[in-house]
Amino acid sequence: MPIDFAARLNPAQLEAVTATEGPVLVIAGAGSGKTRTLVYRLARLVSQGVEPSSILLLTFTRKAAAEMLARAERLLGMALGGVQGGTFHAFSFATLRRNPEASGHAGSLTIMDRGDAEEALSHVIAELGAGKGDKSFPKKGFVLELISKSRNKELPIPEILSRESYQLLPHAAALEEIARGFERYKRGHGLLDYDDMLFTLEQALTRDAALLERLRERHRYLMVDEYQDTNLVQARLVKLLAGERGNVMAVGDDAQSIYAFRGANVENILSFPRIYPGTRVVRLEQNYRSTQPILDLTNAVLRQAKDRFDKNLFSERLAGPKPEVVKAYSDQTQAQLAVRRIRELRREHLPCEIAVLFRAGYQSYALELALNKEGVPFQKYGGLRFSEAAHVKDAVAFLRVVHNPRDVVAWKRVLVLVDKVGEKTALKIAASAREGDFQALDAQRRKNPGLDALFSFLEELRADPGGPASLLERAVVFYTPTLTRLHPEDYPRRLAGLEQLSQIAASYAHLEAFLADLALENPEEERKGVREDAVVLSTVHSAKGLEWPAVLILDLVDERFPSRHALARPEDLEEERRLLYVACTRAKDSLTLYVPGTVYNRAGGGSQPAMPSLFVRELPRECFTELRETFSGGLTPALQAQAAAEPRPSWDAPSSGGSRFASRGVAARQPLAADPDDPRAEPGGSPFASASDACGTGAMSYCSHRIFGRGKVVAVLDGGKCRVNFPGFGLKVILREYLEMEP
């Protein structure tokens, strides 16, 4: 029975499916039925009499190709064994294997896997003596990734380092020499690695005109999925295979090009019509996933992009709540608000239907802790949970030893960080420490200066522990040289995670409570599949291709989303914009964006004011509902909050003058708005005002506030108020009933 394509496809999809000759570019907006379009085009070609063996379907995963072929077979009711479908690398290897003489490699081809490549690289590094005795030199796994990234981006190694790993620039010359040695090693031993397959095929096709012509004759219909993710050599291979006839359909979305760090080049899809004259551009704009209010916001995000294909996503699902932009006081209270929102959403959705997305893995640490305390299971994708990260465990181990000198596990963890201390020695020293054998400990200290430094540091901490934040701050300072030695490739990222942990510690008065909450663990997550009882936490990169009824996005402030490094380069900033588009288009029914007013900055000495993300500031007000956190921890509409507060500039007023926070005035360090039923925290006057016992507790005692964390009462005022100094926030005057006083 013939397939009624017109009845099963919308007009844009039908246009793409029936455009079978010449170059076609399908700009497939998020949730617009891209895979369906490819499947139906494949089925239509075969139903029109095209030999399956003349179709080449290139994808980025074997699974995607297999799924498309299976769906097309079900549509047609026949097998499509003749269609060649698979990844670029699989196609390259199959072609080279059938034509070894064209590859320039005599005899059979030997392809190295990751383990083989690392072993070969080890030989090269040893032969060159690179980094010998230098503990800041990167590990071989990182070097291999760096060489691969340099090849795929077709950029010199120093340029890659200056963009992504500036701390390794002193090793640039040595790393370039290793890359050259690696190439010599592979050629000398007749080996190819994963990247070589693409470049070797390109060289074979440019050298062997007969082979190129045979491939063009065989693969007369070329289809490429996710074209926005192609790198430079993949785009050149497509051009070689398409030839003058240019019978190629590329399907993708320039607005979902978010893998530049892997070598993807958005210019490939943007320049497609120029490279292939006469290209028919088909836009798939009908979205089958999200409600129209969500799409209105995502369209607004894209509207500010510099280079793009115009598209306007629309849906038949017109009803639905507007996305919410929640202005939290800080990144710490943001976590509490997100947990509250998750509780609300669980009345309507299964936990697995709720996703919290973020730019970098460490940005979920506070939320992970809050979910653990609430007993809410979660699965995390993209980045380790804070309780699993080695650098977090290391830093916390110092605090555990101070809290409990008999904690052998913590002792072992801090001891093995010392140079020349192995596992057996660490256990021996830990046993001496637990038993109070000071003679044995002194002997070890005399033998190893590193141990002497460690014990001196721990003695200082025990003598003057301070609160959890102070302890952790000092532990991080002591640990940082070790961190840079152990992880020279990415210690800046790990330090950012420790900053986030320091911010969490600042909200605790007692070390025991802090360590207890850190130890609260989710049940071991099943990594084989989705758990219905677990909320999803994910980086945006790991979320691409997925969808959820409800999505929350954290940390929408400059230097976090967009990330700090992206603010320096226009092309990186544009990719960050596309990343937010991808995040927003994962939502089907509900979308919430969180904008903390302050973020913790260890280098700055506490919480610092944050500028709402450039992408949020650009959004038209009619696209979202703005809510602001109140002192009581609730949310109130922005207009109501502003009416209760003193006049101040809007968040989207451009900053003027030297400070990037100038538009927010002197009060930029203060939380922004209060609700009319709560007392506003006022900037304090003189810290030397006379104290009384009106609070029941005198000045110079400590207290906690749910927004500002732990502080010191410097004065007790009339009317049941206290003047409190909060680290990172300064002096505040707050009603006693909003403070939890420490005995």
Q: Which residue has the tokens 């506070």?
A: 366
Q: Are 448 and 491 in a shared domain?
A: yes
Same domain, 509 and 566: no
110-111/354-358 β-pairing: unpaired
Average confidence score pLDDT of the chain: 83
Q: For residue 312, give the nearest of 321, 323, 303, 322 by alpha carbon.
A: 303
- pLDDT over 60 (residue 654): no
Helix or strand (DSSP H, E) at 195: none
Tokens at 59, concatenated: 């994808």
Q: Is the pLDDT of residue 626 over 80?
A: yes
Between 210-219, 357-366, 585-594, 643-652, the lowest mean confidence (pLDDT) is in 643-652
695 part of a folded domain? no
d(C-alpha 131, C-alpha 122), whole Å: 12
Distance CA 548, CA 350 (A): 10
Residue 28, annotated ligand binder?
Answer: yes
CA dist 401 and 404 (Å) reads 5
32 is in an annotated binding site: yes
Query: What share of the chain has pLDDT > 70, as a percent?
Result: 88
State the pLDDT at residue 38: 94
Is residue 601 within 8 A of residue 290, CB to CB? The reply is no
Residue that is last in its domain, among 149, 164, 189: 189
CATH number, domain at 461?
Answer: 1.10.486.10
In the prediction, which pLDDT does 603 show? 61
pLDDT band at 530 (very low <50, low <70, confident <90, very high): low
- The answer, yes or no, to whether residue 223 has pLDDT greater than 60, is yes
Determine if residue 33 is labeled as part of a ligand binding site. yes
Instruction: Out of 53-57, 374-378, 579-583, 651-655, give the one with best mean pLDDT.
Output: 579-583
The pLDDT of 291-319, averaged and rounded, is 94
Q: Are residues 96 and 120 in the same domain?
A: no
Whole-angstrom Cα distance, residue 429 to residue 418? 12
- The residue among 476, 498, 519 that closes a domain is 519
Same domain? For 415 and 483 the reply is yes
Residue at which a domain ends, from 641, 664, 681: 641
Asked, for residue 3, whether it belongs to a domain, the answer is no
Alpha carbon distance 645, 327 (integer Å): 15
Q: Is 31 annotated as a binding residue?
A: yes
Q: For residue 729, name the pLDDT band (cuts at 50, 70, 90).
A: low
Q: Read off the tokens for 264.
A: 């993807």
Confidence of residue 686 (pLDDT cuts 50, 70, 90): very low
Tell me the mean pLDDT in the region 516-533.
Answer: 62
3-class secondary structure per residue, 208-248: CHHHHHHHHHHCCEEEECCHHHCCHHHHHHHHHHHCCCCCE
pTM for the structure as a whole: 0.78
| 71, pLDDT greater than 60 | yes
Quick check: is 44 in a domain? yes
Number of other CB atoms surrounding residue 224 within 10 Å = 27
Question: In sequence order, what are the beta bridge partners of 553?
Answer: 357, 593
Neighbours of 702 (CB within 10 A): 17
> What's the rounded mean pLDDT across residues 124-134?
86
Residue 657 is labelled as binding a ligand: no
| From 164-178, 231-245, 437-451, the region with the lowest mean pLDDT | 437-451
We report the CATH number of the domain holding residue 592 as 3.40.50.300
Tell me the backbone φ, ψ of residue 4, rounded to 5 degrees. -90, 90
**Domain for residue 649, yes or no?**
no
Q: What is the mean pLDDT of residues 465-477?
A: 85
- Residue 123 covered by a domain: yes
pLDDT of 106 reads: 60
Residue 427 lies in a domain: yes
- Whether 564 and 605 share a structural domain: yes
Is residue 666 predicted with pLDDT exceeding 50? no
Looking at residue 292, its pLDDT comes to: 97
Residue 29 annotated in ligand binding: yes
Task: Provide the pLDDT for residue 521.
Answer: 55
Q: Is residue 306 part of a domain?
A: no
Residue positions counted in the chain: 743
- CA dist 627 to 162, 325, 354, 575, 595, Å? 40, 6, 20, 28, 10
Q: Are 90 and 233 contained in the same domain?
A: yes
DSSP annotation string for 539-596 = EHHHHTT--EEEEEE---BTBBTTBTGGGG-HHHHHHHHHHHHHHHTTEEEEEEEEEE
Q: Determine the Cα–Cα distance for residues 63 and 60; give it in Å rounded to an integer.
A: 9
pLDDT of residue 685: 32
pLDDT at 707: 67
Euclidean distance between the first and final Cα of the chain, in Å?
Answer: 82
**pLDDT at position 682:** 40
Give the tens place of pLDDT for each residue, 268-282. Answer: 999 999 999 999 999
> Both 71 and 217 in a single domain?
yes
pLDDT at 467 (0 to 100): 82
DSSP designation for 655: P
Q: Starting at the earlier edge strand, list the strands of the sheet with 280-284.
A: 84-87, 55-59, 221-224, 248-252, 24-28, 280-284
Q: How many percent of the chain have pLDDT more than 90?
A: 41
Number of domains in the chain: 5
Q: Residue 635 — pLDDT band, cuts 50, 70, 90?
A: confident
- Cβ-based burial of 26 (10 A; exposed 0-12, middle 13-18, buried ≥19): buried
Whether 414 and 371 map to the same domain: the answer is: no
* 373 and 423 housed in the same domain: no
Q: What are phi and psi of 46, to 5 degrees?
A: -70, -40
Whether residue 579 has pLDDT greater than 90:
yes
The owner of tokens 């963890």 is 413
In a domain, 691, yes or no: no
Q: In the predicted model, is pLDDT for residue 646 greater than 70?
A: no
pLDDT for 671 equals 32
Residues 114 and 176 in one domain: yes
Q: What is the pLDDT of residue 528?
A: 43
Q: Verify that 599 and 733 share a domain, yes or no.
A: no
Q: Which of 105-119, 401-415, 682-696 has the highest mean pLDDT?
A: 401-415
Are residue 415 and residue 562 in the same domain, yes or no?
Answer: no
Q: Report CA 319 to chain centroid distance, whole Å.
A: 31
Query: How many whole angstroms separate alpha carbon 208 and alpha carbon 325?
Result: 58
308-337 pLDDT, tens digit per residue, is 999 999 999 999 999 999 999 988 899 999
Indicate whether 586 pLDDT > 90: yes
Residue 107 has pLDDT above 70, yes or no: no
Angle, helix 172-188 to helix 157-164, in steps of 10 degrees: 130
Closest CA to 223 of 53, 48, 59, 43: 59
**DSSP class of 60:** S
Phi, psi for residue 34 in degrees, rounded to 5: -60, -50
In terms of residue numbers, what domain contains 721?
702-741
